[in-house]
A = this chain, B = another copy of it.
Amino acid sequence: MNEDLMEKIMSEVMKKMEDSNNDNNTNKKIESSSLNNEGYRMTEFVGKTKYGKTIGLVIANLDKSIHDLMGIDKKYRSIGIVGARTGAGPQIFAADEAVKATNCEICKIELPRDTEGGAGHGSLIIYGAEDVSDARRAVEVTLKEVERTFGDVYANEAGHIELQYSARASYALNKAFGAPIGKAFGISVGAPAAIGVLMADEAVKAANVEVIGYASPSDGTSFTNEVIVFLSGDSGAVKQAVIGAKEAGLPLLEALGGEAKSVTVPYI
């Protein structure tokens, strides 16, 4: 077997390995399609999406003892559950659209330290509803929206940056981040945290926005390697601020870890 042939095989193999590695990367697609039930029949299963390993479930009649343990009002007979290994911002901004579109309350938003070996959070979101169809609808909307809200997540092997923007914050963004309801709201996230610091500075320099919060590894995150700023204000200004943050953070992330593409399609 000559060297050329060995070379050709190795190049094919390395390419496949790369693909396979990319598949394993944080924030990358998994094979299954969004909301594909593929013969799965449990009534509690609503769907899943390839983005962030996000799963959506519903419980029609939550056991009273679980209400107590979770500290959820018993009037919410049904709950919707959205959980993910990777991502908190994308799921929470998606959940904000879900509460606008349905008759649900946000009962809980919890952020584990996760992203499957990456630098950030995973998420657990609980919706409360009096009727199971409302809970199911909230979960469905969230799973659908997650594809959009992963649009301004850019990741490579060194970390990730994330921008989110909403023209009108509702109860999920208020619960999770203290966003003033009804006003434009955005976040800038950089990981490793050093990049997030620079992005925070660029965001407030790029537009006249109010910074309503700042989270860092030891304060306000679940010990993630991120710095996050929470921005409120005028719709145009918030958008401009997060774009400024992105323009500062993306080249730094790429300097550290190579090309960092959008997980889906940028929406901001």
What CA separation (Å) do A79 and B197 show in the bound complex? 10
Assess A223 versus B225: contact at CB under 8 Å? Given A66-B204, A119-B114. no
Dominant SS among interface residues on chain A? mixed
Interfacial residues of chain A within 7-29, with CB under 8 A of chain B in the complex: 8-10, 12-14, 16-17, 20, 24
Contact between A62 and B201 (Cβ–Cβ < 8 Å)?
A: yes
Contact between A122 and B225 (Cβ–Cβ < 8 Å)?
A: yes
Is A131 positioned at the interface, with any CB of B under 8 Å from its CB? no
What CA separation (Å) do A256 and B12 show in the bound complex? 29
Size band of the A side of the interface? 35 or more
Is A218 positioned at the interface, with any CB of B under 8 Å from its CB? yes
Contact between A83 and B195 (Cβ–Cβ < 8 Å)?
A: yes
- Min C-beta distance of A224 to chain B, whole Å: 6
Interfacial residues of chain A within 206-244, with CB under 8 A of chain B in the complex: 211, 213-214, 216-219, 221-227, 229
Residues of B close to A251: CB separation below 8 A = 40, 42, 45
What CA separation (Å) do A118 and B112 show in the bound complex? 12
Q: A56, A82, A197, A213 — which one has the most chain B CB atoms within 10 A of its CB?
A: A197
Assess A225 versus B57: contact at CB under 8 Å? Given A44-B248, A113-B113, A193-B112. no
Q: List 30 A-B contacts (CB under 8 A).
A: A1-B9, A14-B16, A44-B198, A44-B248, A45-B251, A48-B256, A53-B256, A55-B194, A66-B200, A69-B211, A69-B229, A81-B197, A81-B198, A83-B195, A85-B119, A85-B159, A85-B225, A110-B216, A111-B217, A112-B192, A113-B223, A114-B192, A116-B117, A117-B117, A119-B122, A122-B193, A124-B197, A124-B225, A124-B227, A217-B222
Q: What would 8 more interface pairs be, CB under 8 Å, given A122-B192, A126-B197?
A: A38-B255, A42-B252, A66-B211, A70-B216, A85-B192, A114-B192, A217-B222, A218-B222
